[in-house]
Chain A
Amino acid sequence: MASDLRNELRFVVGEDGVLPAEADASVAIDGRHPTCIVLPHDRGELRRVLAFAQKHKQTVIPFGNTSQLSVGPAPQSYDIALGTTRVARIVAHEAGDMTVTVEAGATLAAVNERLAGAGQHLPLDPPLPSRVTIGGLIAADQWGPSRASHGKVRDLLIGITVALQDGRLVHGGGRVVKNVAGYDLMKLFTGSWGTLGVVLEATFKVRPLPAAASLFMAAVPDLPSAMGLARRVIDARLSPAYVVVLSKGAAQAIVGESRDMVLVSCAGIPAEIDNQRQRLAALLHPVALDEAMADRAAVIQERLRDWPAMTSASWGARISLLPTRLESFLSGIGGAMGANVDVVSHNLSGVAVLRGISPLDSNQLRELRRAVRVLDGYVVFDRLPADLKRSVDVWGEDVPGLDLMRGIKQALDPQRRLSPGRFVGGI
């Protein structure tokens, strides 16, 4: 049966468009393998693969570089792993309009390389940009430290083309930076984790590269002091690009110093940065302000960006709270978890990435979620061993608006062919 399927798919995407599941171990999810991997060469082929899957009642899980496939519960069924990496043209960069239109398989690094030629960038900085694809960026709503000043995908994505589960094409938005015609489909598909459609093309607003940037650092004795210092910086309203707090373990990996730290990035014209440097130094006194110079700053920023992906952790979580609550919650986390967890906290946004050093059992993970939920926050376990996923809900049980979300899934993918069971509430 599986080989019949593969043969038929070869008619759709050509001989080299169908690979056996063994060809790429990274498409396996919690030990579960697809029947085959399909890599269409263009958008037309990609749509025909979806139509084929619909006709033959095959379930499809779309992927870009596979790095986010491990997030979410194991799929309820998994026939075709549908890769977008060959659909990767940069369709248009209109430097004067400050927009870029790209196909889903293009990597963020490739897009930014093109934009840099015009002194521009797409200011999103998730881990491993040379691997992360535009489709994966949107579907998994990936972000990095710069969200504090530039926002996330939802703030930059202005147009989208998506293939639905039956192969129909749907467009939202356009190529202009301001547009309220029709429903905002960009918002719907951002962070939909491959459960509603497959992104084919996207148009983003881009921004000028800053004329200058500086990275300031301060080391303090403990995490509560770091949180307090970060709060002082935030309250001073110096317009930093980001304010990040690192626990000792994270600082060891990122900066090479095993001390709790505050990192403040400033970007703009030199006159602004000079001003920020002076004010930061006065604000932090008597804590010493260290300024990372060019190469060292670049290395630290890269490690900070890639940290959620690179660190070897037994479990991982993303916590979202009001910023002041995040500060106090994380200040106490050392006591609750001891040295078992490393933290990178994005204090302006109220989100933190946790990486567990030693394993926790399902009760401990549920307790972590409960402690955050009573503060009106959310925990997503973005890294969990397969066995724990069976007893701990990756996304959380009480998602607001879940009935409407199920209704949307039912409307756009009634037979549940796309990434079934991988998202909130079993969607």
Chain B
Amino acid sequence: MCRVGFDMTANVHDRRALIAGLQRVAGASSVITQPNELRVYECDGFTLEKNAPDIVVLPSTVAELAAVVRFLATIEMAFVPRGAGTGLSGGCLPVDAPVMIGTSRLKRILALDIANGRAVVEAGVVNLSVTNAVKTNGLCYAPDPSSQMACTIGGNIAENSGGPHTLKYGVTVNHVLGVELVLPSGESVALGGSVEDVPGYDLTGLVVGSEGTFGIVTSATLRLLPQAEAVQTVLAVFESVASATEAVSGIIAAGIIPAALEMMDQTIIEAVEAAFHVGFPTDAGAVLLIEVDGLAAGLAPQVEEIDAICVRHGARSVRVAQDETERAALWKSRKRAFGAVGRLAPNYCTQDGVVPRTKLPEILARILAIASRYKLRIGNVFHAGDGNIHPILLYDERNGDEVERVLQAGREILEACIALGGSVTGEHGIGVEKIAQMGQLFAADDLAVMAELRRVFDPQQRCNPGKIFPTPGACVETTRPHRQAAM
């Protein structure tokens, strides 16, 4: 069923009335209606599909946001929530939703409780600003997605974002104790709280990762952790991805849980080296970035053991970052690997599959075979410790045939992940990108129950329609054959 409030060309008066109504509840300066300004909001980091919203509202307060949602409820109009737009699965792409509600102006850090390790922040607060606000107190907010300089806490909650350090510290849901949520009816509810054990169902846990389909999270209570007393970062260079993967298994088998365990293959090494000159040998098959943290007294023995394990699995060299500058350079190369790939091809598309960790060699062999079958160049950067792979498919969008091959290869990679007992998304979300795979991952009853849960929060399915679930009646074809680029 389509619930589009109006047709822009046929009903100019409706649009004017809608704009007037939104301006009345949110103030004129909060409502964006000019096509050139709206284009900014036509996609997130998943750029294969674009669709500018008809109207964007950027409320300055939670009360304004709730008033906007209440107003839309009275006219039964669908809307799409948006944070910073750094998502990677099209989670805030407007689909059957004329109005976009952005949380970017809800930027206040409402409370910091250092002794108890809690922060209460509004949804539009940028991920990194939470850690920046408490680092002089020796605390941090652990989830650190690559986009942490831009992405918002609200968006992190919607997607249950991860990052390189999730291996040891977990993902967003492990660090969110409570949320304030504006339901699609306009009613505000507080779920969870500041304490760890709140009676009742874990609705906070259910809301995190619901991709904005339950309502709009306006603020959250976050858990802050003490910064590790010391950190050591190791770079190990291998001849092949296979031997690097064996080293990963060896480290895990030795009972070491590194804070991060990241791998880049040769294609990525070349791109990163060309961009950042960190000293990666461009003829190496793979590099592993291994970080251990904890008490200073415990790190040296762990680094020694990691060194020995890497050497045993054929590492060409193992280097320990000698200071913070060197460590920062290594991490910069990893966190900006996607950007560096821009040098290799005009466009690229990143996948976000997961396999059981021991299946990494197998999935990489399959990716290699898929690349050769489709005559594509595919680089691999991934969270090896979690089995979370990010194959980067390089292409030129002007080459229609190549675009087709990229799409087909991407699908095959995800299907290979499912076949190996994995999942189609470790941290980017389903969004619009992977709706087609939901039916392969889940049975009809699973999807039916998820849909029932959604209706509890959003009976009319007006909040972020067209996401996660295959919806037979969707007005916009979301799996268009012609795709361009994604990060």
Interface residues of chain A, those whose CB is within 8 Å of chain B, are 94-99, 119, 151, 154-155, 164, 168-172, 174-188, 190-192, 196, 207-211, 235, 237-239, 268-269, 271-272, 274-276, 318, 320-324, 349-351, 376-378, 380, 395-396, 399-405, 407-408, 410-412, 423-425
Q: Please, which residues of chain B bring their CB within 8 A of the CB of A272?
A: 294-295, 297-298
A1 → B minimal CB distance (Å): 32
Subset of 28 A-B contacts with CB under 8 Å: A94-B356, A96-B249, A97-B387, A154-B174, A164-B449, A169-B443, A171-B443, A172-B446, A175-B421, A176-B421, A183-B206, A184-B173, A187-B204, A187-B208, A188-B202, A191-B202, A196-B201, A210-B255, A322-B113, A323-B116, A351-B197, A378-B199, A380-B199, A395-B199, A399-B199, A405-B203, A408-B456, A412-B452
Residue pair B205, A171 in contact (C-beta under 8 Å): no
B466 contacts the other chain (Cβ, under 8 Å)? no
Residues of B contacting A175 in the complex (Cβ-Cβ under 8 angstroms): 356, 421
- B426 interfacial contact with A, CB 8 Å: yes
Residue of B nearest to A118 (CB): B253
Complex: chain B residue closest to A376, CB-CB: B194
* Measured CA separation A170–B196 after assembly (Å): 27
The size of the chain B interface, using a CB distance under 8 A, is 89
Asked whether any CB of chain A lies closer than 8 Å to the CB of B445, the reply is yes
Contact with A along B448-469 (1 / 0, CB 8 A): 0110111111000000000010
Contact A181 B434 (CB under 8 A): yes
CA distance A171 to B355 in the complex (A): 18
Say whether A207 contacts B445, CB under 8 Å.
no
- A240–B85 Cα distance when bound, in Å, is 39
**Which residue among A151, A177, A322, A350 has the maximum number of chain B CB atoms within 10 Å of its CB?**
A177
A176–B295 alpha-carbon span in the complex (Å): 29
Tell me which residues from 216 to 251 in chain B have a Cβ below 8 Å from any Cβ of chain A. Answer: 226, 229, 249
Q: Residues of B contacting A208 with CB < 8 Å?
A: 252, 254-257
Q: Which residue of B lies closest to A211 (CB)?
A: B255
Q: Does B170 contact A (CB under 8 A)?
A: yes
Q: Are A96 and B358 in contact (CB under 8 A)?
A: yes
Would you call B195 and A400 a contact (CB within 8 A)?
no
Q: Do residues B453 and A237 form an inter-chain contact, with CB atoms below 8 A?
A: no
**A188–B214 alpha-carbon span in the complex (Å):** 14
Is B198 within 8 A of A320, CB to CB?
yes
**Closest B residue, CB atoms, query A94:** B356
Is B155 an interface residue, CB under 8 A from the partner? Answer: no
A180 in contact with B200 (CB, 8 Å): no
Contact of A376 with B193 at beta-carbon distance under 8 Å, contacts A98-B357, A180-B160 already known: yes
Determine whether the beta carbon of B199 is less than 8 Å from that of A401: no
Contact flag A269-B199 (CB < 8 Å), given A96-B358, A171-B442, A324-B116: no
CB-nearest residue of chain A relative to B454?
A: A183
8 additional A-B residue pairs with CB within 8 Å, beyond A183-B453, A322-B195, A404-B203 = A95-B253, A171-B443, A176-B421, A179-B426, A183-B206, A191-B202, A235-B115, A378-B199
B445's contact among A168, A318, A322, by CB below 8 Å, is which?
A168
Contact in complex: B196, A400 (CB < 8 Å) = no
Interface 9-residue window, one of B23-31, B44-52, B184-192: B184-192
Q: Are A192 and B201 in contact (CB under 8 A)?
A: yes
The answer for the CA separation of A196 and B456 in the assembled complex, in Å, is: 14
Q: Which residues of A sit under 8 angstroms from B301, Cβ to Cβ?
A: 269, 271
- Report how far A269 CA is from B249 CA in the complex, Å: 20
Verify A323–B115 contact, CB threshold 8 A.
yes
B333 within 8 A of A: no
Are B203 and A184 in contact (CB-based, < 8 A)? no
Q: Are A401 and B449 in contact (CB under 8 A)?
A: no
What are the nearest 3 A-B pairs in CB distance?
A187-B205, A208-B255, A275-B297
> Closest CB-CB distance, B391 to chain A, in whole Å?
16
> Given the known A-B contacts A208-B257, A404-B189, are A187 and B202 also in contact in the complex, defined by CB atoms under 8 Å?
yes
B424 at the interface (CB under 8 A from A): yes
Residues of the B chain whose Cβ atoms lie less than 8 Å from the Cβ of A403: 189
User: Could you tell me the distance in whole angstroms from the C-beta of A160 to the nearest C-beta in chain B?
Assistant: 11
B430 interface residue (CB < 8 Å to A): yes
Contact of A169 among B116, B205, B294, B445 (CB under 8 A): B445
A181 engages B174 (CB within 8 Å): no
Task: Tell me the minimal C-beta distance from A269 to chain B in angstroms.
Answer: 5
Q: How far is the CB of B222 from chain A (nearest CB, A)?
A: 14
B423 within 8 A of A: yes
Residue of A nearest to B442 (CB): A182
Q: Are A182 and B194 in contact (CB under 8 A)?
A: no
Residues of B within 8 Å of A320, CB to CB, are 195-198
Q: Which residues of A contact B159 (CB under 8 A)?
A: 180
Q: Give every chain B residue within 8 A of A396 (Cβ-Cβ).
A: 199
**Contacts A207-B257, A268-B298 given; does A188 touch B206 at CB 8 Å:** yes
Task: Point out the residues of chain A lying under 8 angstroms from B468, CB to CB.
Answer: 182
B287 to chain A, nearest CB (A): 21
Asked whether A97 lies within 8 Å of B358 as measured between CB atoms, the reply is yes
- Interchain CA distance A183-B192 in the complex, whole Å: 17
Q: Are A269 and B427 in contact (CB under 8 A)?
A: no
8 A Cβ contacts from B148-206 to A: 159-160, 162, 166, 170-171, 173-174, 178, 189-206
CB of B435, distance to nearest CB on chain A (Å): 11
A272–B296 Cα gap in the complex (Å)? 8
Judging by beta carbons under 8 Å apart, are A151 and B427 in contact? no
| Closest Cβ–Cβ distance, residue A296 to chain B (whole Å) | 25
Whether A411 contacts B450 by the Cβ 8 Å rule is no
Structural contact, A154 and B456, CB atoms closer than 8 A: no
**A183 engages B450 (CB within 8 Å):** yes
Report the Cα distance A238→B203, complex, angstroms.
32
A155-B202 in contact (CB<8A): no
Whether A408 contacts B357 in the complex (CB less than 8 A), given A187-B202, A187-B206, comes out as no
B453 near A178: Cβ-Cβ < 8 Å: no
Complex CA distance for A322 and B120, rounded to whole angstroms: 13
Q: Is the CB of A176 within 8 A of B257?
A: no
Chain A: minimal CB distance from B312 (Å): 16
Interface residue from B190, B229, B434 paired with A237 (Cβ < 8 Å): B229
Nearest Cβ on chain A to B415's Cβ, whole angstroms: 14
Q: Are B298 and A402 in contact (CB under 8 A)?
A: no
